[in-house]
Structure 1
Amino acid sequence: MSTEIVVDAPGVHRLVPHVPREPGPGEALVRVHAVGICGSDREVYRGNRPEGYVRYPLTPGHEWSGTVQRTGAGVAASLAGRKVVGEGFRNCQVCDRCHAGETTLCTAGYAETGFTEPGAMAPTLTLPARLLHPLPDDADPTAAALLEPAACVAAAALKADARPGERVAVVGTGTLGMLAVQFLRAASPAELLVVGTDTGREALARGFGATGYHTAGRELPGGFDVVVEAAGSADAARTGAALLRRGGRLVLTGIPAPGADGLGPTGLVVRQLEVRTVFGAPPAAWAHAVRVFAAGLLDPLPLVTHELPLDAFPRAMELVGSGDPGVGKVLLRPEPGQLGPEMG
């Protein structure tokens, strides 16, 4: 029997029978191949996601890949059988921000797959077909499950606007940081520095294109044109600013804890730093991520360290929150028989 995960309340989940929802007009039903787990999924499970950004009971899962099984009225039948990934934000399409392509700023309010709408920790997912991004027929669907965080990083890369020959740095060595290295490498920087808390991911970062690696506690270099912060802490934001030359560009992708000290306005003004922020990914960033992935310039697969069946959800939550440097991206595979023993 096919099952799905339902989180009824913080810390309370069930494995329940799954009944696919037939696609209505404008919708598609997707067979889920794999679903990734990130810190925000753990927030949902622990109950510390900000108010208004989760709705219980809930089937989580916003990072996923799959194959279209059926389409509803008004959707091209040719979409059936295609490998796809999908945007999470359920934007209204009619407000001024949506018309400007800034769908993550939709004024109709927040709604997102896996947080306020049913997510992909289930064998199938039914959603508006307009949110889907088809992949090449030969795309690796396991690697593609990381295209949601990649789209967020693509949004940061577009805002960073790194140009060939510039000095570029990434602060953070998690999934977002390693994806950022790959996107920024494609811009042909003169230097691409990665800053981490330890040396555990130095080899991986250099394999993705980093030309240098710096660990916390050492004196920071300076003079960088662009810095992408991908660690989600006030310390990382301050480190990013310290790396920049005057007039440099800082892109923040993480969300520090409420009340954390950030960047002082005096320093920003005196040094004339440009600070840009990312929360989610608009369609242009998704298109960029899929294009870079399809071109072979983005390889998320080495970041996957664990693949587990859906009923190992508690184990997956433990792994994501363990702090173990050997744990990278954790994937759940909804259908039994899709994988062998636990990786990692």
Structure 2
Amino acid sequence: MRIRGAVLTEIGKPGPYAVTRPLVITDLDLAPPGPTEVLVEVDAAGLCHSDLSVVDGNRVRPVPMLLGHEGSGIALEVGRAVEGIAPGDRVVMTFLPRCGDCAGCATDGIRPCVPGSARNGAGEMLTGGRRLSLDGAPVNHHLGVSAFATHAVLDARSLVVVEPDVPPTVAALLGCAVLTGGGALLNAGRPRPGERVAVVGLGGVGMAALLTGAGLDDVEVTGIDLVASKRDLGSDLGAHASMAPEEAPDAGFDVVIEGAGSGRAFETAYRLLAPGGRMVTVGLPAPDATATITPLDLVAGGRTIVGSYLGSAVPARDVPRFAQLWREGRLPVERLVSHELGLDDVNAGMDRLARGEAVRQIVRF
């Protein structure tokens, strides 16, 4: 079928992207779903720093590539081997499929799926190959999703069905921002009643972690960011305190979530970690980024540093869990949305991300 989408044709173009337009909005062809796949009509897609990192070259991916990895939509057609998804279902897209059979899938979310990660890196679907083409030439998939388009074909293992009361924007954010940030807090940080939580870096993922923590009983949450407007939003979303990094107390927190994706943020997060505390790092820094810590301080203080990819989540388990928290009013995900835009404005949205002016931007179709 013929679809319209945002295709990245060249990595590393300079900004402003609204002028250089690395993402080309064009018509292209989408093949029918295979036996384990689902055709989805996309209704909302979020702009995430992981998209920007492909545009600016911090994450090298094969091009041309149809970007977008955080989205929701309605299932239109399902492959003959698909179970649990029917036409008309609202589905949440997740950017790391789980085959269910490899060593990574046996870790209950701690390690990524091995074949899923390999296929993502190659720009292919979980079962191999590509379903997208432009003028007869193949176009790569972004993390098995490619949500910056009117329609997408995804492996059923990249999809989670949610109830129809979940709005498109909320459903989209559940698949990346909430699953990554909220999952890092609940699955890896595991705060206990009475503990103090800090979130360093209040972008979409960090703000989702803050929002999740604010909905917990007997947990004190502090938002930390360089940008005053983001600190103010963190307070509005329920943070007990918001402060700049230099204002945060050394060794003051039991659980620290690092969501900024930089060496400096990593060092800040570690500085805030109390003895016996757990630091969970979810930001994706540049490949050559480094950070310095004192090993003696780590050992003598009994501190723990944990890396968490996709919030150490099992999407089929965790997406419904977060949807229920939203339904109960304890996770007002829609408040993370700072901008809504059309597909033609996606390059300008990348500029806002690069300038740090957005929490979550949503493309609506």
Deviation at 1:159, TM superposition (A): 0.6
- How much does 1:72 deviate? 1.2
- Which of 113, 128, 153 in structure 2 is aligned with 1:126? 153
Go from structure 1 to structure 2 and tell me whether the alpha carbon gap of 1:149 and 1:301 turns closer, same or farther (over 3 Å shift): same
Deviations along 1:284-305, whole A, 9 cap, x unmatched?
2563243223332222212212
Q: 1:262 aligns with which of 278, 282, 292?
A: 292
Task: Kindly report structure 1 stretches of 4+ aligned residues shifted beyond 6 Å.
Answer: none
- Distance in 2 (CA, whole Å) between partners of 1:323 and 1:230 is 13
- In structure 2, give the amino acid aligned to 1:270: A
C-alpha RMSD of the superposition: 2.4
Contact 1:58/1:117 (8 A) holds in 2: no
Aligned ranges 1:182-221 → 2 under 5 Å: 182-218=211-247, 220=249
Separation of aligned partners in 1, 2:219 and 2:267: 23
Q: CA deviation at 1:232?
A: 1.5
Q: In the alignment, which of 26, 32, 42 is matched to residue 32 of structure 1? A: 42
8 Å contact kept, 2:8–2:66 = yes
2:337 paired with 1:330 = no
Partner of 2:184: 156
Amino acid corresponding to residue 268 of structure 1 in structure 2 = L
SS across alignment from 2:234: helix
Q: 1:139 is matched by which residue type in structure 2?
A: V
Provide the residue aligned with 2:353 in structure 1. Answer: 320
What is the aligned-residue identity percentage?
30
Name the residue aligned to 1:290: 320
Partner of 2:128: none
Q: In structure 2, what is the equivalent of residue 229 of structure 1? A: 258
Q: Mean Cα displacement is larger for which, 281-290 or 130-139?
A: 281-290
Choose 248-257 or 275-284, whichever is displaced more: 275-284
Q: Which residue of 1 aligns with 2:106?
A: 99
In structure 2, the CA distance between the partners of 1:130 and 1:106, relative to structure 1 (3 Å rule), is closer
Gap change, CA 1:153 and 1:289, over 3 Å in 2: farther
More displaced 10-residue stretch of structure 1: 80-89 or 40-49: 40-49
Q: Is the 8 A contact 2:3 2:151 kept in 1?
A: no
- The CA distance in 1 between the partners of 2:152 and 2:250, in whole Å, is 47
Q: TM-score, normalised by structure 2?
A: 0.82
Query: Match of 2:92, as an amino acid?
Result: V
Query: For the Cα contact (< 8 Å) 2:232–2:242, is it kept in 1?
Result: no
Aligned residues: 329
Structure 1 unmatched runs, 5+: 336-344
Q: 1:33 to 1:240 in 2, by over 3 A?
A: same
Give CA-to-partner distance per residue, 1:151-195, whole Å, 9 cap, x none.
111331111010112122211221122111122223323422222
CA distance 1:83–1:45, shift in 2 (3 Å): same
Q: Distance in 2 between matches of 1:250 and 1:236?
A: 12
Q: Which moved further from structure 2: 315-324 or 125-134?
A: 315-324
Q: Which amino acid aligns with 2:181?
A: V
Query: Match for 1:17 among 4, 27, 49?
Result: 27
Match of 1:86 in 2: 93
**Secondary structure in 1 matching 2:65:** coil
Q: Does 1:246 align with 2:275?
A: yes
Paired amino acid for 1:131: S
Instruction: Determine helix, strand or coil for the equivalent of 1:48.
Output: coil
**Alignment counterpart, residue 74 of structure 1, candidates 69, 73, 81:** 81
* Equivalent-residue separation in structure 2 for 1:260 and 1:86 (angstroms): 32
- What residue is the counterpart of 2:8 in the other structure? 7
